[in-house]
A and B are shown apart, each in its own frame.
Chain A
Amino acid sequence: MALLDVQDLSIHFGGVKAVQNVSFSIDAGIVYAVIGPNGAGKTTLFNLITGIYTPTSGSILLDGQSIAGKSPDVLAQRGVARTFQNLQICMNMSAIENVMVGAHLRLDRNLLKAALRWPSIKTRDRDLHAEAEELMRFVGLDAYTGARADAMSYGALKRLEIARALAMKPRLLFLDEPAAGLNPKETIEVDHLIRKVADTGVTVVLVEHDMKMVMNLSDRILVLDYGRKLAEGTGAEVRRNPDVIAAYLGAHA
């Protein structure tokens, strides 16, 4: 059984059919890419699967259980993590706290115990701090473990979002344009990082415009255009697909 199974998924905003009858499934352990021209519905698709939007129709099954319309915090409990195309970093917090908040669901969030400085909470938080430092090193942010989030570069913040998502210990990680706005060197680094993440057993789904990165990383690719599924398959299959060449890659070929 596929880890994620999406059938006939649609969402309409008034008259705009942002995603229309899209179906695909993702096996556990692979890197899956969603590509398509701007406005094709890629981020909307992510928002549907990660609970930001409720679909107009269609089904989304995670491990055979429906998650369509579930709120993001429920999805977080089921092991779904994501990053954002336009950064969503808490600038009022330090870098490492941004990572630590990713572990929210694994912690004792009791208000009263927190106010009373309950020893178990402090101990757990110290362990988490070390864990978060480890994660920051994993994503290549060794130099920023003591930094404020608002003092970090754009490229570093993109990695910080990945570290925060990893702190959730997800099974399924959605990366929305992880290389957008990065220079070629940074792009290669993020490419390596995603490979490293996938090697830890996390299933990765990414939206990305950098074709070299997509072709290099992905086991399978979904191509969207005007909210519809245009093609799906391996990199080689997609690249040969005449519809794809016409609609998308044609511009690059």
Chain B
Amino acid sequence: MHQHPFRGLFVVAAVLLVLPFVLPNSFYVDLAIRMGINAVIVLGLNLLIGFAGQISLGHAGFIGIGAYASAALPTHFGWHPLLAVAAGAVAAGALAAVLARPIFRLKGHYLAMATLGLGIIINIMVRNEAAWTGGPDGMAVPPMAFGSLEISGDKPWYWIVALLLCVSIWASINLIDSPFGRALRALHGSEVASKVVGVQVVRYKVAIFVLSAVFASFMGSITALYVGFVTPNLADFFHSIELVTMVVIGGMGSIYGSVLGAVLLTALPQALATFEGWETVVFGAILMLSMIFLPKGLVPTLAARFGKGD
């Protein structure tokens, strides 16, 4: 966040502009969309984990809320998808706000357990309320449409996600580099010092938890609308862990680390498909090695090595 905080954003935007014209086929466009979706979610999660220093092992639950709001509300009640997306985001934000106060009385392992439980409960509800959600089989998502104009296919969604990613990076940089963001980082650095200068610590933790939950829900909706189908896997524990791993590998407290972590870990399972059956083992080994040799994550480590700020 130094002289040119937006230099990286220009690079990301340039890559996003060129990408659809160089990608060989729709398989790669699809991969790029999923990278972009994950990147936005991870940005929100990194605000919570990397900047504010609070863990959440249940964020896929919020993704599930957004995804299923986009699927169930138009299907069962005939809501317009746009309204359903907003309803999902409001519901996720409200749930996060209500639960955050008791949750953030906890610290460390206890906070991890509480958020883990939250994610699991949402996942169980999605699996069990089959009449509304299709249960374990999932359900189809009515497409986003305005009159006769229907948003479908790779290209429109690519540009929507690309735009959302750029806006999210911009907003995250702004947020971190503001009095709000400074207070957030301060309560991470020293909770007691931040209290003493007047930071209402719990309120800040709640605010950032709600914000990251809304990010997750919104992108859950985007995922559902893009794919056209939702399954409970979107909201399960492994997805939560995957997101946290993206934060850690990319770099806690690094905006561009969030993006890089999401890009790499979304691509890695595809790249490892050649290992046939051993890919999870190789995946695990790569994660372990990167934690041993790059404990601060990719972007902060590289930034330190080349003497630049991120």
Contacts and interface: CB of A to CB of B under 8 A. Distances in A.
Q: Real complex partners, A and B?
A: yes
A74 to B, nearest CB: 8
Given A89-B189, A91-B189, A97 B196 contact: no
Given A50-B196, A72-B195, A114 B185 contact: no
Interface in A134-152: none
Contact of A93 (B178, B182, B197): B182
B306 to A, nearest CB: 16
A104 B181 contact: no
Given A90-B190, A93-B185, A116-B171, A168 B179 contact: no
Of B174, B181, B253, the most chain A CB neighbours within 10 A belong to B174
A123 interface: no
A125 B179 contact: yes
Nearest to B252: A92
Nearest to B176: A114
Contacts of B171: 115-116
Interface in A84-121: 84, 88-93, 97-98, 100-102, 104-105, 107-111, 114-117, 121
Interface size class of A (residues with CB under 8 A): 35 or more
A231 B170 CA distance: 59
Interface in A62-98: 71-73, 75-77, 81-82, 84, 88-93, 97-98
Nearest to B174: A117
B310 to A, nearest CB: 13
A104 B190 contact: no
Contacts of B200: 73
B287 interface: no
Contacts of A114: 174-175, 178-181
Nearest to B172: A115
Nearest to A114: B178
B199 interface: yes
- Name the prevailing secondary structure of the B interface residues: helix
Contacts of A116: 171, 174
A76 B195 CA distance: 8
A48 to B, nearest CB: 14
A116 B188 CA distance: 23
B190 A88 contact: yes
A104 B172 CA distance: 19
B207 interface: yes
B140 interface: no
Contacts of B253: 92
Contacts of A77: 198
B197 A168 contact: yes
Given A109-B179, A111-B180, A114-B175, A92 B189 contact: yes
A168 B198 contact: yes
B82 interface: no
Interface string B173-212: 0110011111101101110111111111100000100010
9 contacts: A73-B199, A76-B197, A77-B198, A88-B192, A90-B190, A104-B182, A105-B198, A107-B179, A111-B175
Given A84-B192, A93-B182, 6 more contacts: A92-B185, A98-B186, A101-B197, A105-B197, A115-B174, A125-B178
Interface of B: 170-172, 174-175, 178-183, 185-186, 188-190, 192-201, 207, 211, 253
